[in-house]
Amino acid sequence: MNSITVHYLNMFLGIGAILLQLFSFVALATLFFGDKKAKFLEYIDKHFLVIGLLISLFALFFSLVYSEVINFAPCYLCWWQRVFVYPLVFMFAVALWHKDKKVLRYSLPLVAIGFCISAYHNLRYYFGENTNAPCDSSGVSCYQQLVSEFHNYISIPMLALTGLFALLTLCLVVHFRSKHIEK
């Protein structure tokens, strides 16, 4: 891929990430401070499996595009995040096929652990010592700024954190909304 195509891909994903962050913050604000019977939360609850599959599928696809097509080598923290994201595609696909919302029990631990790794990765990336020295024996640095859009706000670690945050938000909405409706 040429640099102009990569730039437009980064912009597309950056805008998508910002929209997904807004979606997640509105959903959490509505869940914890608004009406738990709001149409917005009802929509998320009803389409939880489709939304979860789409987010995890986009995360899988674009992480592979960056590493296999554009040839951006992933650091070891990116690899660990992938360990927790990639199975979610299959879990949500099977759950959607069977219309089984109990996938929440199995996906939430993966999402939570992946989110914690991603949050740590972002802390290191944005507030660390910011060197290009390799983080491990692979020779890849977690600090490389391979993607830097919107004044360095959107990066590969931020894209990963956004996807995991959105998945975590979905899980929390379905979990807490179902508990509220049971009462």
- pLDDT by residue (tens digit) across 88-112? 999 999 999 999 989 999 999 999 9
All residues at 6 or more sequence positions from 110 whose CB lies less than 8 Å from its CB, including other chains? 84, 85, 87, 88, 91
Average pLDDT of the chain?
87
pLDDT at 156: 86
The residue with greater pLDDT, 54 or 121, is 54
pLDDT at 134: 46
If pLDDT is split at 50, 70 and 90, which confidence band does 181 have?
low
- Check residue 70 and report its DSSP letter: S
The residue with greater pLDDT, 154 or 143, is 154
Q: Which two tokens stand for residue 51?
A: 């939304």
Q: State how many domains the chain has.
A: 1
The residue with greater pLDDT, 122 or 1, is 122
Mean pLDDT of all residues in 5-11: 89
Please report, as a single letter, which amino acid is at residue 167: L
Mean pLDDT of all residues in 48-66: 95
Res 83 pLDDT > 50: yes
Q: Which of 80-84, 140-144, 157-161, 177-181 has the lowest mean pLDDT?
A: 140-144
Q: Which domain holds residue 92?
A: 3-182
- Check residue 183 and report its DSSP letter: -
Neighbouring C-alpha atoms within 13 Å toward the C-beta of 74: 20
